[in-house]
Amino acid sequence: MTPAVAYIGGTRKEFRPLNMGPRIPFWDGMSPTVRVGLPESDMLHVSASVDDVMVCIASNPSFIAPLIARLAHFFNIPSVQRICVPLSLAVCNLIRGQVLRRMPVRIELTAIDDVNDRDARTRIINVQHGMEAAAAFIASLTLYCGSRKLRRGLMLPDELVTLEEMLRLMGAFLTSEISVRSA
């Protein structure tokens, strides 16, 4: 499995994937998290010069996160991988593709600008329908880029538009609400 990467004081650190992360605030309160191996840690460090960044996920219900962390080491055993990974994918595909196909998935994102600072600013974004929000983000970013003269080369969304402007643009496409608050 891909290691979970974090930057602490500008230094890259690798963690075993799916081990326990910090408890962080979400819309409904504090929640345990697990560290995951996603590219956002490297991207934010390189593109925005963020010295402290970590990517974690929280489960709903919250008791699942510690369970995932306890069971994760079994997925590193090759014989378990051959059996459990295809089985897990099949179960997830069945649940998401059939049982919950018409049920919207709520997504919450929490950004903390400095975890170690007592005056840390925390922003929480709550979206009731995750797939609709993803589609609105893509459509909004495409229209935004198409209406401006941009420099050539690779650019990340945060280099193009502020969060507030993106949420305003996305609002034109959404049938559900995006809520943002500071914690």
Q: Is 35 among the domain residues?
A: yes
Owning domain of residue 141: 104-183
pLDDT tens digits for 145-167?
A: 888 887 777 777 777 787 778 88
Phi (first) and psi of residue 182, to 5 degrees: -95, 145
Continuous H helices in 51-149: 64-71, 78-94, 130-146
Domain count across the chain: 2
Angle at 158 between CA 154 and CA 162, to 5 degrees: 140
Same domain flag for 57 and 115 = no
Same domain flag for 65 and 128 = no
pLDDT tens digits for 107-150?
A: 777 777 665 555 566 777 888 777 788 888 888 888 888 888 87
Same domain flag for 54 and 119 = no
Tokens coding 109 = 């994102």
On whether the CB atoms of residues 69 and 19 are closer than 8 A, the answer is yes
Question: By three-state DSSP, how is residue 17 classified?
Answer: coil
Q: Is 79 among the domain residues?
A: no
Q: Is 135 among the domain residues?
A: yes
From CA 121, how far away is CA 179, in angstroms rounded?
17
pTM of the model: 0.61
Closest residue by Cα to residue 110 from 172, 51, 28: 28
Q: Is 136 among the domain residues?
A: yes
Q: Is 99 among the domain residues?
A: no
